Amino acid sequence: MERLTVTPRPDWRAHVERDLGFAFHTIAGAPYWDETAYYRFTAAEADAIEAATGELEQLALALVDRVVQTGEEAFERLHIPRLAWEAIASSWHAGEKNLYGRFDLAYGGSGAPKLLEYNADTPTALFEAAVVQWDWLQAAWPERDQFNSIHERLIEAWKNFGLDGRRVHFSAVKDHAEDIGTIEYLRDTATQAGLETNRVAIEDIGWDGAAFRDLEDRPIDVLFKLYPWEWLIGEDFGTHLLTGVAKVIEPAWKMVLSNKAALVMLWEMAPGHPNLLPAFLEPGHIDGKVVRKPIYSREGANVQVADGGTVLAETDGGYGAEGFVYQAHVEIPAFAGNYPVLGSWVIASQPAGIGIREDATPITRDTSRFVPHLFD
């Protein structure tokens, strides 16, 4: 694995906007999509990432089964509200299918990839990984390869959901360019799979006492929501989703995996696993550097890195009310002062490709850059 600098395509901004519909390549005046560099892997390294991703997904599914079988004690440790327990168990026992997820891995080309966290419910950076970096590869390095079958696997996954004849509504919050770009891309893959689709903002979904409806008063029978389950079940609107009145993607059982307390339970289930880091719900169990993460948080907010009583790095934010997870620190290899985190995607629980985000610090945040990759 190496990071190589390269001259960007001179017209890339106009091209990605016009031909790909990639509108959020620049955020707050700073580059988000960055093709001044790329990461090069060997085929063996790409295979190692794929194998680790498949292994982690199987562990995650086994954890859901264990939590559902254990019941109250496990749900409470995950800080999942009681009102969601039955819906989680029902969705798991019914075999409700999931669409996608993203494992964030620390990896520098040697040793085993290490799981930092699992974005199991509302992962973004999908369009960039599936389409934009593939477009870059075809333009700049058409003879090379990329660990990336995300697009094809998404279309196949939609075909296997059993939704023929049912309209799928895609929903996210208003005025959020990245979220809207993500659901529009997912909606496009569903359309390519032959499904009927519509888009509706989360704020515009109505409830008539028996069903959800969009602004045209059409019933919402299937809802893809790019909006966290833990937020939904805290709102009057969201509690109706737990009744099964609409099919929801991602399914309710993803609540088991979409909080960082799952990292603790994964370590308890498979202590010493080469792709896992020691993690605990209480401090004091780990020697050396420790990363403290809120049980519920997003985009690197409220993360603290400490060594003994010395805080080495910390980000701000509004998370942490439910408590924290304490995870053993792993050094993210630096490439010319850049710290890459590999977002390894699963589609329908199958490894499908990676996207890389890098930062000038070891903590990946919403301002971190997306950098393409290839392998040979």
Residue among 88, 37, 38 nearest 66 (CA)? 88
Please indicate whether residue 159 or residue 314 has the higher confidence score (pLDDT): 159
pTM: 0.95
Structure tokens, 211: 């069903």
Phi-psi region of 33 (alpha: psi -120 to 50; beta: other; left: phi over 0): beta
- What distance in Å separates the CA atoms of residue 176 and residue 180, rounded to the nearest whole number? 6
- What distance in Å separates the CA atoms of residue 344 and residue 104, rounded to the nearest whole number? 6
Name beta bridge partners: 3: 39
Distance of CA 183 to the CA centre of its chain: 13
**pLDDT tens digits, one per residue of 89-130:** 999 999 999 999 999 999 999 999 999 999 999 999 999 999
**Count of alpha carbons within 13 angstroms of residue 228, beta-carbon side:** 15
- What distance in Å separates the CA atoms of residue 204 and residue 223, rounded to the nearest whole number? 13
The per-residue pLDDT for 155 is: 98
Residue 177: φ, ψ to 5°: -60, -45
The per-residue pLDDT for 238 is: 83
Q: For the chain, give every domain's residue range.
A: 2-259+334-375, 278-328
- What distance in Å separates the CA atoms of residue 22 and residue 16, rounded to the nearest whole number? 5
Single-letter residue type at 131: V
Contact 67, 78 (CB under 8 A): yes
- What distance in Å separates the CA atoms of residue 209 and residue 245, rounded to the nearest whole number? 11
Average pLDDT, the chain: 94
DSSP strand pairing (279-280 vs 310-314): unpaired
The per-residue pLDDT for 368 is: 87
The per-residue pLDDT for 212 is: 95
Contact 149, 131 (CB under 8 A): no
Among 153-157, 176-180, 203-207, 354-358, name the one with the lowest average pLDDT.
Answer: 176-180
**pLDDT tens digits, one per residue of 1-46:** 999 999 999 999 999 999 999 989 998 888 899 999 999 999 999 9
- What distance in Å separates the CA atoms of residue 17 and residue 26, rounded to the nearest whole number? 11
The per-residue pLDDT for 68 is: 98
